[in-house]
Amino acid sequence: MATVRALVLRAPGTNCDVETAYALEQAGADVERRHVFALREQPEQLDRFQLLVIPGGFSYGDDIAAGKVFALELSRYLKDAVLRLHARGGLILGICNGFQVLVKAGLLPDPDTGAGRVTLSFNDSGRFEDRWVWLQVRAGNSPFLAGLDRLHLPVAHAEGRFTVRTAEDLTQILQDGSRGLLRYSAPPGVSADGVPYPWNPNGSEGDVAGLADRTGRILGLMPHPERHVLDHHHPRWTRSDPDRGPLGSGRRIFENAVRWLRAG
């Protein structure tokens, strides 16, 4: 079986790198955790990997704006290497702070249109919140999301409000059916008008919790799939409610990525 090599890139203040590496290992990847200071010395090191993951945390303390300083660093020192990885069919995943970094570095929504179309801004609640959300998945062409319909994952952030510059940007993202998309939704079996707080935990426009680029091979999302890879991560694993959804469903994003890369 072909080895899938994944790099978990950390910066000062990254703090979800260990469990993200664990989730990738469980999915069958060969994982290295590496500091951005080391990688920026030798960006070509990235060429040995097929999957780049920027995990959650508070890179540079979220000082100025979440993910901003790491994004500047990425753009300045690693952009070419990252684009090479993308161009040769590699996968890029940003979770929470990693999503903020990808957006602020202009890799999402699309690397060729640059930064400034969308951002992740302060939660409408005005504070950091850790809570579980339901996500409606539109897989589009994204290998990460293939075969997924619903996910139950936790969010834990203060700056996750998906915010667009213009209404057209939002419409485009929502209506392009081939673009992978994760949207906050009502819990299963509940019918409601719209997706009010706390189902949409931060006031995200279009209820967007995550999205892929046009190729589907860059995915960023605010919720934490690596926090729902074991059965007992599920907040209701001690119950048997019919509507609680499958246990450990976050693993499927990592398994999808590894399986797709393995298939070449």
Partner 1 sequence: MTTWVIEVSLQPRLHDAERARVRETAAELHLAMPEPVRFCRLYVIAGNLSERDARRAAEELLADPVADVYKLRPLDRHTEPDPTCAYVLYHPGVMDPVALTCLDALQEMGLAVEAVRTGRAYRFEQPVADRLRRTVAYRVLANDAIEQVHWGRLPAEVFQEAAPYEFRLVTVPLRDADEQQLLRVSRDGMLALDLDEMKAIQAYYRQLGREPTDIELETLAQTWSEHCSHKTLKGPVDYVEYGPDGRPHRTRRFDTLLGETVFRATQELRRRWGQQHDWCVKVFADNAGIVRFDGDWNLCFKVETHNHPSAIEPYGGASTGVGGVIRDILGCGLGAKPIANTDVFCVGDLTLAPERLPAGVLHPRRVLKGVVAGVRDYGNRMGIPTVNGAILSEPEYLGNPLVYCGCLGLIPAGKEHKAPQAGDLIVTVGGRTGRDGIHGATFSSVELHSESAEFSGGAVQIGNPITEKKMLDVLLAARDRGLFHAITDCGAGGFSSAVGEMAEGLGAEVWLERAPLKYAGLSYTEIWISESQERMVLAVPEESWPELERLCRAEGVEATVIGRFLASGKLVLKYGDQVVGELDLEFLHKGCPRKLRRAEFRLPAGAADRRLPPPGATSARSLSEVLLELLADWSICSKEWVIRQYDHEVQGGSVVKPLVGRVQDGPSDAAVLRPVPESPAGVALACGINPRYGRVDPYRMTLCAIDEAVRNCVAVGADPERIALLDNFCWGNTNRPEQLGSLVRAALACYDGALAYGTPFISGKDSLNNEFRGELDGQPVQLVIPPTILISAVGIVPDVARCVTMDLKEPGNLLVLIGRTRAELGQSALARLLGWDGGDVPTVDLTEGPAAARVVSRLIGSGAVRACHDISEGGILVALAEMALAGRLGVTVRLPGDEELVRELEADNATAEQLRLGWLCSETPSRYLLEVPERSLATVEEAAAAGGISYRLLGQVTDRPRVVVEDAAGKIVLDVGIERIKAAWQAPLDW
List residues with catalytic annotation.
96, 224, 226
Distance CA 69, CA 63 (A): 8
CB of 2 to partner 1, least distance (A): 25
Distance CA 147, CA 165 (A): 31
- DSSP-derived 3-state class of residue 251: helix
CA 257 to chain centre: 12
HEC profile for 42-84?
Answer: CHHHHHHCCEEEECCECHHHHCCCCCHHHHHHHHHHHHHHHHH
Which residue of 118, 135, 222, 261 would you call a contact of partner 1, by CB under 8 A?
A: 118
Using the minimum distance from each CB to partner 1, give the nearer residue, 143 or 154: 154
Distance CA 210, CA 232 (A): 24
Stretch that binds partner 1, among 13-21, 133-141, 174-182, 252-260 (CB under 8 A): 13-21
Q: Does the footprint of partner 1 cover residue 225 (CB under 8 A)?
A: no
CB of 264 to partner 1, least distance (A): 30
Return the residues of window 39-98 that contact partner 1 according to CB under 8 A: 56-58, 60-65, 68-69, 72-73, 76
Helix extents (H) in 125-250? 167-175
Which residue of 4, 6, 9, 16 would you call a contact of partner 1, by CB under 8 A?
A: 16
Using the minimum distance from each CB to partner 1, give the nearer residue, 94 or 154: 154
Beta-carbon count within 10 A of 262 CB = 14
Tokens of 6: 């994944």
Q: Does the footprint of partner 1 cover residue 213 (CB under 8 A)?
A: no
CB of 128 to partner 1, least distance (A): 5
Beta-carbon count within 10 A of 231 CB = 10
CB of 249 to partner 1, least distance (A): 15
Under 8 Å between Cβ of 152 and 135: yes
Tokens of 62: 């979220």
CB of 26 to partner 1, least distance (A): 9
Return the residues of window 152-211 that contact partner 1 according to CB under 8 A: 154, 156, 161, 163-165, 203
Q: Does the footprint of partner 1 cover residue 248 (CB under 8 A)?
A: no
- DSSP-derived 3-state class of residue 183: strand
Query: What are the residues binding partner 1 (CB under 8 A)?
Result: 12-16, 18-19, 22-23, 35, 37-38, 56-58, 60-65, 68-69, 72-73, 76, 104, 115-119, 121-132, 154, 156, 161, 163-165, 203, 224, 226-227, 229-230, 232-233, 235-236, 238-241
